[in-house]
Amino acid sequence: MSIAVRRLAPGDITLIRDLNRLFGRAFEDTDSYGASRPGDAYLTDLLAKEHVFVIVAFDGEDVAGGLVAYGLDKIEQARREVYLYDLAVDAQHRRKGVATALIAHLRTICGGYVIFVQADPGDEAALALYSGLGEREDVHHFDIPVVPGQ
């Protein structure tokens, strides 16, 4: 298997849609990743943002995996942290180094001093992958709802 990895650009609308379908299958959440798809203009604008990283691994013409990460520019120093938000590899391409190649590519292009990522307890594959690449911190995650007008 020959894997090629690259960052998507504003013209890659078909590929970002392919990646969203892959995320829906991999995360068993096709509603979130497919029910209310954004338009082409939104995706074009998103892919043009310097701080948004959408990276895809290809096996030939097929999307084998991908990730989405966001740069967070800091105020305490002139530096950036990068939050790796979504990463998935299609089932037939797992355990072949695709996720590691995606993260390696992100490391070379993100301009950050650190990449951070969350993994759910019990997701042994993700925990093993990330443990092999960095140091584990046990933190709590909170979802704070946004209330319009307050």
The confidence score (pLDDT) of residue 131 equals 85
Look at residue 148 and tell me if it is in a domain. Answer: no
Look at residue 138 and tell me if it is in a domain. Answer: no
Question: Which range in 1-5, 90-94, 145-149 is most confidently predicted, on average pLDDT?
Answer: 90-94
State the chain's mean pLDDT as an integer: 92
> DSSP state, 38?
P
CB 67 within 8 A of CB 86: yes
The confidence score (pLDDT) of residue 1 equals 60
Look at residue 53 and tell me if it is in a domain. Answer: yes
Look at residue 92 and tell me if it is in a domain. Answer: yes
Look at residue 59 and tell me if it is in a domain. Answer: yes
CB atoms closer than 10 angstroms to residue 23:
21
> DSSP state, 91?
G
**Domain assignment of residue 96, given as a range:** 3-133
The confidence score (pLDDT) of residue 149 equals 79
Tokens 């002139």 found at: 78
Question: Which range in 101-105, 115-119, 125-129 is most confidently predicted, on average pLDDT?
Answer: 101-105
pLDDT band of 61, cuts 50, 70, 90: confident
What is the CATH number for 28?
A: 3.40.630.30
Look at residue 145 and tell me if it is in a domain. Answer: no
Instruction: State how many domains the chain has.
Output: 1
Q: What is the pTM of this model?
A: 0.90
Estimate the crossing angle of helix 40-48 against helix 13-26, to 10 degrees: 90
Look at residue 54 and tell me if it is in a domain. Answer: yes
Look at residue 26 and tell me if it is in a domain. Answer: yes
